[in-house]
A and B are shown apart, each in its own frame.
Chain A
Amino acid sequence: MPVNRVAVLGSLIAGLSLFFLPLVELKPNRLASGIPFFLLQFEGDVRYLALFVLALLPLVVALRRADVVRGALLAGLGNALLFLTLYLPAVAGEVLLADAAAWLGEGVRLSNPRLLPSAGLALGLFGAYTVLYGGLRDLVVAGAPRSLRVAAAWGGLLLVVLAALSGRFDVYSVVVEFQARGQQLAQRTVEHVMFVAVALSIGLVLGVGLGLWAHRDRRASPVILYLVGIIQTVPSLALFGVLLVPLARLGDQLATSVALALVASLALAAAALALYRTIGQRLRGAARQVVLLLVTVSAAVPVALFTVVVASFSFRVSLLAFTSAAPALANLRSAMLVALIAAVGLQLAVRRQRVDTARRSLARAAWVGWGALAVTLVVALVTASQLFLARVESAATLTVRDLGVSGIGPAPAVIALTLYSLLPLVRNTYAGLTNVDPAVIDSGRGMGMSAPQRFMQIELPLALPVIMAGVRNASVALVGIAAIATVIGAGGLGDFILGGIINTSIDQILLGAIPAVLLAVLLDAVLRATEQLLVSPGIRVSGEAAPS
């Protein structure tokens, strides 16, 4: 591989855009547009020109022989460029802001002036990252040690984070916005995570269940797949509109009567099923359809009711568990963090360990860590649910609303998100199970595995890569869709994003969008790691396995 073309491309992008495009815009306040500034306009000129030179240096380095040295040089330049593209304009910006009145002139409302990053800066960062990526590729190809690769990949980002934490980026408009409204950012982010987590957990149970049903029942499968497909096409606003009144009515009901209704309709379903079992086989045409419909509907009602209550309740309780300032919960959160770190650490150690016995005991210790995490989580959730129900006087007057079900707020949001998560989950579960080689299942039968053993030991593990791909699809999509929850007052990062759109405040939009993107990336990484852990190496594919 002669010239590193990626680095050349990145260098050109960075160099040209840093030189020819405005880097920042000096804005008098949050709304009004301001004055664009180019690199050459910054005071103290020569220093800033170094940035331009730095951007073009990779052009020279990229011509070298491909080896570790070239990779390290390019990665170093990329990282430096990444950091300085953000840092130098911020330094210049402090001077500009001090003089803002002089620059902006009379007549404008000068309050909280700020620097909006402009095209030059954005493209400069993109170019810097491209150079860095080119360097990383060199390092991988040349087989550089892991530590060097990690340092090269994250070094610049670490510097950026450190500078941000030490307040060097306070001039940038997103940071200004964060300082004005940031108190809510943590809360909104947790809400956002909880939307995704709760919707995904419940969607997983429902989705895998429906996928399994579709797989088992060839007549039901087109109907199920069609219905979950339809759900996907219902606009979220319409869905919220449809959910509002029934959920509000449901909220008014006493929990005891709803529980009774639940039991009653389950009994009805059981009776109808028994009826079908005994005489239904002999029924013909319409009568048969009616009985079947009765079974399905009377079973679907309690499942839907139960799901609604569980989804709403779990969201409220999990949110409380992760945000409540109650000391018990705060302690449990710390315990959870410790358990998580321990479990992940041990799990990583298991992979490194080559000695068999040590490996086994490490694995056992890791399981203890995961177990501890699960136990603390459950305890936290129980504590939170007690806290949540503390307002209720007695079980007799407990309404469904007290359990968190309501026409607006988190309940319809979580329910809508759960519904939206179904398509990828059902489809991938169905596809995953259907694509398991029948010969393999047959040999499981021939070995004497019972149906549940076959499902747990053969079908599920073999379908898992495809199911996990569905989970990843669903979760990343949910991070995006959850932003819409704000329109029914459910909170989440959408508060910033939609509010920003309505106010035409790009800063406010970014304040919500940046965490959302990070969240999606993080979630994807976590799920990939989980997949690595769960999917057998015997069936792991290097590329993508999901038919989507």
Chain B
Amino acid sequence: MRPIAITLFALVVLLSGALSYAQADPIRVGSKQFTESIVLAKLIGYALEDVGFTIDDRTPLGGTDVNRSALVNAEIDVYPEYTGTALGLFFPDVELPEGLTRDAEASYDYLLEHDLERDRLLWLAPAPANNTYGFAVRRAFAEEHGLTTMEDFAEYVNAGGEVMMATGDEFAQRPDGIAAFEELYGFELADEALLIIAAGTPAQTLQALDQGANDTNVAMTFATEGAVVAYDFVVLTDPRGAQPIFNPTPVFRVEVIDANPEIPAILNPIFEGLTNEVLQELNARVDVDGESPDAVARSYLEEHGFLN
């Protein structure tokens, strides 16, 4: 009964033409479902709201594919994407230039040009943070064995050190995952040295490391993962660049920027300040301290003078 009633009334309303004035279209902000993406989207949203835009908060929206097709189909206007993710997933039928994904600037330039041309999407200024995959260990463990870089880790492994690494299945199996590190740094992890968690996220692998399940002493992580702070872990650095660069960047539909050309000047300074350490801290405040992403984003913007 109700849908019929509603339709009838909707029709009446339409036909009577008694429709009031129009507001400006809101900016629809999406995000992926993990903390960092949500926090970045909230940063975008609150910064724009502060200068007078209406924000339609669609966070969290879903996985990468849902966000991307929502953006391409003009269902949302912006969401934060990572350069490395975009190059890895959105150009399946294109031969990318050799070494492109390990060069931050080249990655960005490529996306700026090709995503605009092909899908009419505009990449604003990327954040310097590089949310790449990496290896995390307990601080005590790192100190005991003198581990700071992946080179140290390779040495430890090759000297016969015990390893039990918690990892998601994708990272374990993809050629650009663990295998890329092994090849570049010259070590090899036996199958028995991997504790594979199906569809495992860093939150889960780090929890495994924290609880020492199955004698885990290494865990897959994102470089900016907040939980790393909570557990007081160390992320080993990747000086030789085994991983693509993952700079978080606001990606807009170009029509939105054309209509509101002031947006880049508002968001670019904010993103330029987002380093690994900053994101780690923001993520930690949500994941570890239990603050809401909204509160964290607002207070960050306030503290850094981005809100009037």
Q: A residues touching B (Cβ–Cβ < 8 Å)?
A: 29-33, 107-109, 111-112, 114, 176-177, 180-181, 183-184, 201-202, 205, 240-241, 244-245, 248-249, 251-252, 255, 310-311, 313-314, 317, 377-378, 381-382, 385-386, 389-395, 398, 403, 406-409, 486-489, 495, 498-499, 502-505, 507
Rounded to whole angstroms, the CA-CA distance of A176 and B292 in the bound complex is 12
Rounded to whole angstroms, the CA-CA distance of A252 and B21 in the bound complex is 21
Which of A180, A391, A409 is B58 in contact with, Cβ under 8 Å? A409
Rounded to whole angstroms, the CA-CA distance of A311 and B201 in the bound complex is 35
In the complex, are the beta carbons of A408 and B290 less than 8 A apart?
no
Give the shortest distance, in Å, between B122 (CB) and chain A (any CB). Answer: 20
Which residues in chain B, 1-47, are within 8 Å of chain A measured between CB atoms? Answer: 1-3, 5-7, 9-10, 13-15, 17, 19-23, 30, 33-35
Rounded to whole angstroms, the CA-CA distance of A489 and B288 in the bound complex is 24
Question: B146 in the interface, Cβ–Cβ < 8 Å?
Answer: no
Rounded to whole angstroms, the CA-CA distance of A67 and B34 in the bound complex is 56
14 contacts between A and B (CB under 8 A): A31-B287, A107-B139, A180-B291, A201-B2, A240-B62, A244-B75, A314-B3, A389-B13, A391-B22, A393-B19, A395-B15, A398-B14, A487-B63, A489-B62
Contact (A205, B3) CB under 8 Å given A248-B73, A385-B13, A390-B20: yes
The 8 A CB mask of B209-251 against A (1 = contact, 0 = none) is 0110000000000000001011110000000000000000000
Rounded to whole angstroms, the CA-CA distance of A382 and B16 in the bound complex is 14
Give the shortest distance, in Å, between A503 (CB) and chain B (any CB). Answer: 5
Give the shortest distance, in Å, between A492 (CB) and chain B (any CB). Answer: 11
Which of A32, A313, A486 is B210 in contact with, Cβ under 8 Å? A32
In the complex, are the beta carbons of A183 and B292 less than 8 A apart?
yes
In the complex, are the beta carbons of A111 and B75 less than 8 A apart?
no
Contact (A403, B10) CB under 8 Å given A31-B227, A111-B289, A393-B22: yes
Which residues in chain B, 38-79, are within 8 Å of chain A measured between CB atoms? Answer: 58-63, 65-66, 69-70, 73-76
Give the shortest distance, in Å, between B81 (CB) and chain A (any CB). Answer: 15
Give the shortest distance, in Å, between B299 (CB) and chain A (any CB). Answer: 13
Using CB atoms, name the residue of chain A closest to B63. Answer: A487
Contact (A317, B6) CB under 8 Å given A248-B73, A408-B58: yes
Residues of B close to A181: CB separation below 8 A: 290, 292
Question: B154 in the interface, Cβ–Cβ < 8 Å?
Answer: no
Rounded to whole angstroms, the CA-CA distance of A255 and B14 in the bound complex is 10
In the complex, are the beta carbons of A408 and B62 less than 8 A apart?
yes
In the complex, are the beta carbons of B3 and A201 less than 8 A apart?
yes
Q: Told that A311-B3, A395-B19, A498-B60 touch, could you supply 15 new A-B pairs with CB distance under 8 A?
A: A29-B289, A30-B287, A31-B227, A109-B229, A109-B288, A181-B292, A183-B292, A201-B1, A201-B2, A202-B3, A317-B6, A381-B6, A389-B14, A486-B60, A504-B203
In the complex, are the beta carbons of A30 and B290 less than 8 A apart?
yes
Using CB atoms, name the residue of chain A closest to B2. Answer: A201
Which of A385, A391, A499 is B9 in contact with, Cβ under 8 Å? A385
Question: B204 in the interface, Cβ–Cβ < 8 Å?
Answer: yes
Question: B149 in the interface, Cβ–Cβ < 8 Å?
Answer: no
Rounded to whole angstroms, the CA-CA distance of A16 and B198 in the bound complex is 35
In the complex, are the beta carbons of B66 and A489 less than 8 A apart?
yes
Rounded to whole angstroms, the CA-CA distance of A540 and B211 in the bound complex is 55
In the complex, are the beta carbons of A310 and B62 less than 8 A apart?
no
Which of A30, A202, A487 is B289 in contact with, Cβ under 8 Å? A30
Do most interface residues of chain A lie in helix, strand or loop, or is the interface mixed? helix
Rounded to whole angstroms, the CA-CA distance of A248 and B68 in the bound complex is 13
Using CB atoms, name the residue of chain B closest to A251. Answer: B75
Residues of B close to A409: CB separation below 8 A: 58, 75
Using CB atoms, name the residue of chain B closest to A398. Answer: B14
Residues of A close to B290: CB separation below 8 A: 29-30, 111-112, 114, 176-177, 180-181, 507
In the complex, are the beta carbons of B289 and A381 less than 8 A apart?
no
Rounded to whole angstroms, the CA-CA distance of A382 and B5 in the bound complex is 9
Using CB atoms, name the residue of chain A closest to B208. Answer: A504
Residues of B close to A108: CB separation below 8 A: 230-232
Which of B19, B34, B139 is A392 in contact with, Cβ under 8 Å? B19
In the complex, are the beta carbons of A244 and B73 less than 8 A apart?
yes
In the complex, are the beta carbons of A31 and B292 less than 8 A apart?
no
Rounded to whole angstroms, the CA-CA distance of A261 and B289 in the bound complex is 54
Rounded to whole angstroms, the CA-CA distance of A403 and B139 in the bound complex is 55
Using CB atoms, name the residue of chain B closest to A407. Answer: B75
Give the shortest distance, in Å, between B290 (CB) and chain A (any CB). Answer: 4
Question: B207 in the interface, Cβ–Cβ < 8 Å?
Answer: yes
Contact (A487, B6) CB under 8 Å given A30-B288, A395-B17: no
Give the shortest distance, in Å, between A408 (CB) and chain B (any CB). Answer: 5
Rounded to whole angstroms, the CA-CA distance of A499 and B10 in the bound complex is 36
In the complex, are the beta carbons of A407 and B33 less than 8 A apart?
no
Rounded to whole angstroms, the CA-CA distance of A328 and B204 in the bound complex is 47
Residues of B close to A177: CB separation below 8 A: 290
Residues of B close to A33: CB separation below 8 A: 207, 210-211
Rounded to whole angstroms, the CA-CA distance of A244 and B295 in the bound complex is 31
In the complex, are the beta carbons of B288 and A381 less than 8 A apart?
no
Give the shortest distance, in Å, between B243 (CB) and chain A (any CB). Answer: 21
Rounded to whole angstroms, the CA-CA distance of A89 and B178 in the bound complex is 45
Rounded to whole angstroms, the CA-CA distance of A311 and B213 in the bound complex is 47
Which of B14, B21, B207 is A504 in contact with, Cβ under 8 Å? B207
Question: B284 in the interface, Cβ–Cβ < 8 Å?
Answer: yes
Residues of A close to B204: CB separation below 8 A: 504
Q: Which of A255, A382, A408 has the most CB of B within 10 A?
A: A408
Q: Which of B21, B62, B75, B288 has the most CB of A within 10 A?
A: B75
In the complex, are the beta carbons of A381 and B73 less than 8 A apart?
no
Contact (A314, B287) CB under 8 Å given A181-B292, A408-B58, A489-B60: no
Top 8 A-B pairs, shortest CB-CB distance: A489-B61, A248-B73, A30-B290, A111-B289, A504-B203, A487-B62, A489-B58, A310-B3
In the complex, are the beta carbons of A32 and B6 less than 8 A apart?
no
Which of B201, B211, B289 is A502 in contact with, Cβ under 8 Å? B201
Rounded to whole angstroms, the CA-CA distance of A381 and B291 in the bound complex is 35
Rounded to whole angstroms, the CA-CA distance of A488 and B30 in the bound complex is 10
In the complex, are the beta carbons of B66 and A487 less than 8 A apart?
yes
Rounded to whole angstroms, the CA-CA distance of A473 and B48 in the bound complex is 45
Residues of B close to A495: CB separation below 8 A: 60
Residues of A close to B76: CB separation below 8 A: 408, 489
In the complex, are the beta carbons of A244 and B66 less than 8 A apart?
yes
Residues of A close to B73: CB separation below 8 A: 244-245, 248-249, 407
Rounded to whole angstroms, the CA-CA distance of A161 and B289 in the bound complex is 26
Give the shortest distance, in Å, between B209 (CB) and chain A (any CB). Answer: 11
Residues of A close to B60: CB separation below 8 A: 486, 489, 495, 498-499
Give the shortest distance, in Å, between B216 (CB) and chain A (any CB). Answer: 13
Q: Which of A32, A176, A205, A489 has the most CB of B within 10 A?
A: A489
Q: Which of B3, B34, B63, B284 has the most CB of A within 10 A?
A: B3
Rounded to whole angstroms, the CA-CA distance of A30 and B75 in the bound complex is 34
Residues of B close to A251: CB separation below 8 A: 75
Residues of A close to B1: CB separation below 8 A: 201
Rounded to whole angstroms, the CA-CA distance of A177 and B288 in the bound complex is 11
Give the shortest distance, in Å, between B275 (CB) and chain A (any CB). Answer: 19
The 8 A CB mask of B91-107 against A (1 = contact, 0 = none) is 00000000000000000
In the complex, are the beta carbons of A310 and B7 less than 8 A apart?
yes
Which of A29, A240, A486 is B288 in contact with, Cβ under 8 Å? A29
In the complex, are the beta carbons of B2 and A395 less than 8 A apart?
no
